[in-house]
Amino acid sequence: MDTSQGRVKLRNLEANPYAAIAVVDKDNPYLYVQIRGEVRLDFANGARDIDRLSMRYGGQPYKYPPTDSPDEGCQNTMKLHRYKMQEGRTECNCPRR
Amino acid sequence: MQLPEKVKKFLEKPNFAVLATVSPKGRPQATPVWFMLDGEEILMDTSQGRVKLRNLEANPYAAIAVVDKDNPYLYVQIRGKVRLDFANGARDIDRLSMRYGGQPYKYPPTDSPQKRVSLRMRPTGFSGMGMG
């Protein structure tokens, strides 16, 4: 993942590196994966990695809004490591389909 | 605090929420849940024995992120304090099930009406993107 300096998530992770992500299938919200882990901050490769993510999601390098910049130390990469994974259907199940 | 009307309007749509709670050791958990706005509170529902309930008993502060299923760049985050309601869990899971599935909740073998617990989050802050 990737964020910018000044964001709450970065401040939180500097104080406590443990985090969790939940990824929900956009075509079937009853299908999801939760991953818990410890996040390492990489201040050196944030600008490179936001472009990699932007290619994946938008097919082009990241377009910076006026409040953001690729300057060194401004974009931070966060890498989850030592993760645990739990795969399943949502907590509040609908009737099985 | 009161949520702005445009946020309340967005919450009417039956998107899923991702509910984040924190364990006594400071380890977050994040899971998708059904939710609905009930007055000024965000209503969710869980079962006894679940991690999110154990976490909320130790630390009632939580956050939800609701992402629009038709436009993932549109989202709202709401932070708040969760009150547990052990009396109305079975009633409220049926209300949620009606909203998301159009029928009362069908219990899997591992669950029962006696185990359901309502989660009522009173918002203390929010943020969002793409809300105009």
Interface touch A20/B46, C-beta < 8 Å: no
Question: Does A96 reside within a domain?
Answer: no
Share of chain A above pLDDT 90, in %: 59
At B15-29, the pLDDT tens digits run: 999 999 999 999 999
pLDDT over 80 at A97, yes or no: no
Confidence class of residue A52 from pLDDT cuts 50, 70 and 90? very high
Interface of A to B at Cβ within 8 Å reads: 16, 18-22, 24, 26, 29, 32, 34, 36, 90-96
Number of independent structural domains in chain A: 1
Q: Where is pLDDT greater, at B93 or A26?
A: B93
Confidence class of residue A90 from pLDDT cuts 50, 70 and 90? low
pLDDT over 70 at B38, yes or no: yes
Interface of B to A at Cβ within 8 Å reads: 15-16, 18, 20, 26-34, 44-46, 50, 52, 67, 69, 72, 93, 96-97, 100-101, 103, 105-106, 108
Confidence class of residue B39 from pLDDT cuts 50, 70 and 90? very high
Interface touch A94/B31, C-beta < 8 Å: no
Question: Does A35 reside within a domain?
Answer: yes
Section A76-95 average pLDDT: 67
Query: Structural domain of residue A16, as residue ranges?
Result: 2-89
Question: Does A94 reside within a domain?
Answer: no
Section B65-89 average pLDDT: 96
Cβ(B75)–Cβ(A26) under 8 Å?
Answer: no
Q: Model ipTM?
A: 0.90
Interface touch B100/A93, C-beta < 8 Å: no
User: Measured between beta carbons, which residues in chain A are less than 8 angstroms from residue B105?
Assistant: 92
Q: How far apart are CA B117 and CA B55, in angstroms?
A: 14
CATH number of A69's domain: 2.30.110.10
Q: What is the pTM of this model?
A: 0.91
Question: Does A76 reside within a domain?
Answer: yes
Cα dihedral value B16, B22, B23, B24, nearest 10: -150
Phi, psi (5° rounding) for residue B57?
A: -65, -35
The pLDDT assigned to B130 comes to 79
At B100-122, the pLDDT tens digits run: 999 999 999 999 999 999 999 99
Question: Does A95 reside within a domain?
Answer: no
β-sheet bridge partners, residue B20: B30, B63
pLDDT over 90 at A92, yes or no: no
DSSP symbols for A27-51:
TEEEEEEEEEEEEEEESSSHHHHHH
The pLDDT assigned to A88 comes to 65
Question: Does A74 reside within a domain?
Answer: yes
CA distance, residue B31 to nearest chain A CA (Å):
6
The pLDDT assigned to A83 comes to 75
Q: Is A84 helix (H, G, I), strand (E, B) or coil?
A: strand
Question: Does A34 reside within a domain?
Answer: yes
Interface touch B30/A20, C-beta < 8 Å: yes
Confidence class of residue A66 from pLDDT cuts 50, 70 and 90? confident
The pLDDT assigned to B109 comes to 93
Question: Does A54 reside within a domain?
Answer: yes
